[in-house]
Structure 1
Amino acid sequence: MARVTGIGGIFLRSRDPKALAAWYAQHLGLELSDYGGVTFLWSDEVPKTTGMTSWSLFPEDSLYFGPLSQRAMVNYRVDDLDALLAQLTTAGVEIDPKREDASYGRFAWITDPEGNRLELWQPLADTQ
């Protein structure tokens, strides 16, 4: 049977794509290439052996994404959550004070200038 094998892309609507792209480049290091997007290769995996992408459904009334008007949330893998949060704090980015630690990584949440709640995830290396 044919099936999905991973996440092929994440697409956001934007009131001002150029300004929002500049914000993502400045604060999260997502530099757009000539085709207008960012390509992540699994060879860029940090730390090694942590490669995974999750796809989940949430109840319509879930507040996990923030306001009910937000229909999707992007989870960004990061290499150093504490350092990134320090940079974002210095830059005045809205950061949710909540943190979560799980057996598979550490989580934090921020909001982009258009009000989209974003999840930051630092995966933990498999030490076995």
Structure 2
Amino acid sequence: MASITGFGGIFLRTDDPKTLYQWYEQHLGLVKSEAGSFSFPAPTQHPEVVFSFFKQDNAYFPPAQKAMINLQVDDLDGVLDRLIEEGVTVDPKRESYDFGKFGWLTDPAGNRIELWQPITAE
């Protein structure tokens, strides 16, 4: 039977795509592909990708924001500390669970972004 094998992409609307691409390149180190978008080779990420729904009034991320990006990182504190030094809006709250550590930032378009450092199998 044909089936879904994973995510193919994340798509956000913005008034100024060029500026947002530049911000993500500068602060998050993402590199645009020849196709003009960011891509991640699958072997670099934790084998689990979460797809979840939230009620319209759930406060986990701003209700006016219809979707939130969750990016996997290898050193949450290192990435967030660097972003603070670069003047990026970073939520001071950081949380740890048995499945990983989480932190948040906001891009110039006002999108809240979640960073996740998964627990690695030793």
Query: TM-score per shorter chain, which class?
Result: over 0.9
Q: Partner residue of 1:117?
A: 112
Q: Under a length normalisation based on structure 2, what TM-score does the superposition of the two structures give?
A: 0.94
Q: Partner residue of 1:82?
A: 77
Q: Partner residue of 1:26?
A: 26
Letter in 2 for 1:14: T
**Per-residue deviation, residues 55-96 of structure 1 (Å, max 9, x unmatched):** 000111011112x21000010001111111111001111111
Q: SS of the residue aligned with 2:84? A: helix
Q: Can you give the 5+ residue segments of structure 1 that lack an aligned partner in the other structure?
A: none
Q: SS of the residue aligned with 2:18? A: helix
Aligned: 1:51 with 2:47: yes
Q: Partner residue of 1:16?
A: 16
Letter in 1 for 2:79: L
> How far apart, in 2, do the equivalents of 1:51 and 1:82 lie?
21
Q: SS of the residue aligned with 1:61? A: coil
Letter in 1 for 2:8: G
**Per-residue deviation, residues 12-65 of structure 1 (Å, max 9, x unmatched):** 1111111100000011111111101122122223xxxx3111100011101111
RMSD over aligned Cα, in angstroms? Answer: 1.1
Q: Partner residue of 2:96?
A: 101
Offset at 1:3? 3.0
Q: Can you give the 5+ residue segments of structure 2 that lack an aligned partner in the other structure?
A: none
How many residues align? The count is 122
Q: Partner residue of 2:41?
A: 41
- Give structure 1 regions of 4+ aligned residues with deviation exceeding 3 angstroms: none
Q: SS of the residue aligned with 2:60? A: coil
